């Protein structure tokens, strides 16, 4: 199926989704988010897809939500449409590993989209920002909630209140980004990492994702209890037997998701 705003690439069991509205620096409009959610829903049920990467082009991941689409809307229209809420929920609850590969601008909704993913890898040209304040509004799909949990209150306030950008190095130091690669290695390096993740047991992957995401909701005792239950439950899988016997037998494990 061809998409108007996305280009899909398959790299074995890694699906790479390239945001593709170059005329507006990949501004995220309704069409793009709908298409993105369609691809994610299909990928959820497709055992040939084990890891998904969302990326843009060399110069822009996404320069935010589409300002031209929002410009004329009033608050009641935004409220009734529940602008981007359903899409936010679909993306942020995707169960398989979801990686953002950010090169160039990730601004406003672009930065928020990257933060909905499990890992953000950046190229050395990446620029992150929440400049909505310059438009007389504010972040609306998680930016005021996820950024402080990632980089702390002071830096999050700084980003949201001044609208300034963070470069890749600062984003890595602040913990927003996991690793920075040179532009020439992008996205080859992240595809390699995604392939390594795709070889792990899906039961472990999902249990780890659920446990880490629960740490954002729970107090420490509840989180540790949740983790312990997940850990114990993995001992019912064949992959646990395979992983541990492979270690003892000094060979590479072959996981089957059973
Ligand atoms: C619509 C956009 C856009 C956007 C860029 N364009 N960003 N269109 N929505 N978010 C369009 C421009 O209008 C222009 O089209 C073309 O892309 C090229 O952009 P330029 O500004 O000419 O490029 P440049 O000078 O290189 O500047 C790049 C830039 C700047 C610094 C990234 O474009 C910029 O500041 N963009 C807006 C960033 C922003 O404020 N994002 C937050 C959006 S609000 P034309 O047709 O004029 O050539 C948001 C809210 C999220 O994200 C909450 C949602 C619920």
**Which residues in the chain come in under a pLDDT of 50?**
none
Residue that has been written with the tokens 């945001």 in this structure:
19
Rounded to two decimals, what is the model's pTM? 0.97
Encoded tokens for 235: 């001992």
**Nearest atom (ligand 1) to Cα of 134:** 40
Looking at the chain, the whole-number percentage of residues with pLDDT higher than 70 is 100
Burial label, 16 (beta-carbon count in 10 A; 0-12, 13-18, 19+): buried
Per-residue pLDDT at 245: 98
For residue 120, give the DSSP letter.
E
Catalytic residue IDs: 65, 109, 112, 132
Per-residue pLDDT at 220: 97
**Where would I find the beta strands (DSSP E) of 81-125?**
98-102, 105-107, 119-123
Which domains are present in the chain?
Answer: 6-198 (3.90.226.10), 202-248 (1.10.12.10)
Q: Which residues pair with 99 in a beta bridge?
A: 53, 119
Ligand 1 first shell, C-beta below 6 A: 24-25, 27, 63-68, 83-84, 105, 107-109, 131-132, 135, 139-141
Q: Is the dihedral of CA 27, 144, 94, 89 positive or negative?
A: negative
As a residue count, the chain comes to 258
Closest residue to atom 8 of ligand 1, CA basis: 24
């Amino acid at each position: 199926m061809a998409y108007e705003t996305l280009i899909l690439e398959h790299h074995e069991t890694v699906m790479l989704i390239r945001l593709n509205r170059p005329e507006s620096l990949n501004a995220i409009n309704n069409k793009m988010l709908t298409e993105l959610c369609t691809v994610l829903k299909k990928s959820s049920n497709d055992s040939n897809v084990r890891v998904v990467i969302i990326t843009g082009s060399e110069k822009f991941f996404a320069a935010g939500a589409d300002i031209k689409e929002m410009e004329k809307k009033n608050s009641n229209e935004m409220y009734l449409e529940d602008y981007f809420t359903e899409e936010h929920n679909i993306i942020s609850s995707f169960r398989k590993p979801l990686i953002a590969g950010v090169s160039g601008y990730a601004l406003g909704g672009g930065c928020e989209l990257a933060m909905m993913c499990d890992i953000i890898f950046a190229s050395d040209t990446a620029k992150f920002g929440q400049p909505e304040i310059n438009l007389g509004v504010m972040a609306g799909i998680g930016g005021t909630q996820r950024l402080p949990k990632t980089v702390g209150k002071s830096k999050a306030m700084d980003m949201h209140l001044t609208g300034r950008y963070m470069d890749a190095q600062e984003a890595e130091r602040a913990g927003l980004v996991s690793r920075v690669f040179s532009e020439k290695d992008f996205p080859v390096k992240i595809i390699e990492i995604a392939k390594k993740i795709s070889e792990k047991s899906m039961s472990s992957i999902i249990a780890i994702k659920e446990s880490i995401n629960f740490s954002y909701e729970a107090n420490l005792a509840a989180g540790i209890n949740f983790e312990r239950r997940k850990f114990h439950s993995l001992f019912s899988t064949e992959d646990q037997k395979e992983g541990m016997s492979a270690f003892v037998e000094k060979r590479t494990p072959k996981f089957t998701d059973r």
